[in-house]
Structure 1
Amino acid sequence: MKKVAVIVAGGAGTRMGSATPKQFLLLHDKPVLWHTLTAFLNAFDDMEVVLVLPPAHFPVGEEIINNIYATLPATEGRITITAGGDTRYHSVQNGLALVTEASVVFVHDGVRCMVSAALIQRCYQQALEKGSAIPVVTATDSIRLLDQAPVQGQMGASAVADRAKVCIVQTPQTFVSSILLPAFTQPFSDAFTDEATVVEAAGHAVHLVEGEYANIKITRPVDLLIAEKLLPA
């Protein structure tokens, strides 16, 4: 089945403390986003990519794409840029508008540049079999649940949770298009924290798949340092 990766890269880099959006920070002399895009292009020879960016970032996005095509000529023509929206939901919705054939669709964070070909391929196979594949890893730290959200940084009462029953959700969240596209015709809700919640709200069960601890999201400076050590140069 056709394969389409919708890569959402609209971050501003606030928590990174950098004027440069985190998806454009350099990792082994190439932008974080370069590594993310090439991971998907290399996972399958027929993978197509829809890159979702704020319009102001189109020029740097095009520069990265042209560099990929120059480095990996066989990938030329497989990436399309489209504009993001006000929220992640609307950005993904814009990307999905370019999916016009029956497909397996991967929705991925642009700053998860450590994603492996094995994980992408595992998600694809399970989505074919079950309709969805949400990569998760089990929690390794002790977990406590707050009775309510913190107020001005003050923590209230809490209770310990069984970490064996807690999963940390990653991307690429992967679905067959016949499930994902109709789900994204729903009106936006603040409860839509990721694609799995959108699909569940449309009445579909979602199916988990084993993720990878190395599949980190580059959010803070320490994440970039970890990625520098783990990602082959």
Structure 2
Amino acid sequence: MAVLSKYVIIVSGGTGSRMDSSLPKQFHLLNGLPILMHSLYAFYRNDKSIKIILVINKAHQKLWEDLCKKYAFEVPYDLVYGGESRFHSVKNGLDFIFKQESFLTNVLIGIHDGVRPLISQEVINRAYSTAESNGSAIPAIKSRDSIRIINAKKENKAIDRDSVLIIQTPQVFRADLLQEAYKHKFEESFTDDASVIEKSGYPIHLIEGDIRNIKITYPTDIDIAAIWVK
């Protein structure tokens, strides 16, 4: 496949309710810069031809614009408003891209959580190159902890942790696969983009993720990320 265009949709519409703060987590500072800016910088540094689509809550637009001015943030991007769920936010980003591109089989689209600021250049490269060859690429790491599963009766039992993988982003796909998959109506089982693709019957290709590629969720996550951020 001859790739003509590469995109990344950076989804950042959350409110950060688990951060014990009224400020959404993507706008908290990490080593002197808002978390979300680290995420955008990672893709801009990787390949300046990657077109960045930033999806945010409309209510956060003024706050984000003020931060961009304060920190002289000049990474180019297109802004799209989020929807009622992550699924709908991604769909809004995809719809924006589909209006720009005619030959979707020659387009790769990555989808990344805005609060994963430590994404490495190696994982970004691996994700796009694998998706170019196989149609999809989903970073995953093994669990280091013991795992137990709970059923509907609240009963729990241990399972083999080697059979469990922790999924990360960016998840990268050929654009025509995403266009077909996102014709589905939202389902609660759609916890990430791979689950939407899988619903359409397309195979999911896993790649090696990075233990440092954490999702900022709790205040202590910022302290951990500050040790690793470059």
TM-score, normalisation: structure 2: 0.91
Q: Are the equivalent residues in 2 in contact too, given 1:36–1:112 (CA < 8 A)?
A: yes
SS in 2 for 1:60: helix
Counterpart of 2:28 (choices 25, 30, 34) is: 25
Q: Which residue of 2 aligns with 1:137?
A: 141
Mapped partners of 1:199, 1:65: distance in 2: 34
Which portions of structure 1, spanning 4 or more consecutive aligned residues, are displaced by more than 3 angstroms?
A: 63-68
| 1:32-80 Cα distance to aligned partner (Å, 9 max, x none) | 0010010011111201110001111112323445567x566xx4xx301
Q: Are the equivalent residues in 2 in contact too, given 1:34–1:64 (CA < 8 A)?
A: no
Task: Report the more deviating stretch, 126-135 or 140-149.
Answer: 140-149
Q: Does 1:8 align with 2:11?
A: yes
Q: State the 1:203 CA deviation.
A: 1.4
Q: State the 1:132 CA deviation.
A: 0.2
SS in 2 for 1:204: coil
Percent of aligned pairs sharing the same letter: 40
Q: State the 1:126 CA deviation.
A: 0.2
Mapped partners of 1:90, 1:203: distance in 2: 20
Alignment of structure 1 residues 164-203 onto 2, 5 Å: 164-203=162-201
**AA of the residue aligned to 1:122:** R
Q: State the 1:157 CA deviation.
A: 2.1
Structure 2 CA distance for partners of 1:81 and 1:66, relative to 1, 3 Å = farther
| 1:133-153 Cα distance to aligned partner (Å, 9 max, x none) | 00000011001111227xxxx
Alignment of structure 1 residues 102-121 onto 2, 5 Å: 102=104, 103-121=107-125
Q: Which residue of 2 aligns with 1:153?
A: none
> Number of residues paired by the alignment?
221
Q: Are the equivalent residues in 1 in contact too, given 2:55–2:79 (CA < 8 A)?
A: yes
Q: Are the equivalent residues in 2 in contact too, given 1:111–1:218 (CA < 8 A)?
A: yes
Task: Report the more deviating stretch, 21-30 or 58-67.
Answer: 58-67
SS in 2 for 1:98: helix
Counterpart of 2:46 (choices 28, 43, 47) is: 43
Counterpart of 1:127 (choices 127, 131, 135) is: 131
SS in 2 for 1:12: coil
Q: Are the equivalent residues in 1 in contact too, given 2:141–2:166 (CA < 8 A)?
A: yes
Q: Are the equivalent residues in 2 in contact too, given 1:58–1:81 (CA < 8 A)?
A: no
SS in 1 for 2:19: coil
Alignment of structure 1 residues 72-111 onto 2, 5 Å: 75=75, 78-99=76-97, 100-101=100-101, 102=104, 103-111=107-115
**AA of the residue aligned to 2:196:** V
Mapped partners of 1:6, 1:201: distance in 2: 20
Structure 1 gap segments, 5+ residues each: 150-155
Mapped partners of 1:44, 1:191: distance in 2: 33
Q: Quote the RMSD (CA, aligned, Å).
A: 1.5
Structure 2 gap segments, 5+ residues each: none
TM-score, normalisation: structure 1: 0.90
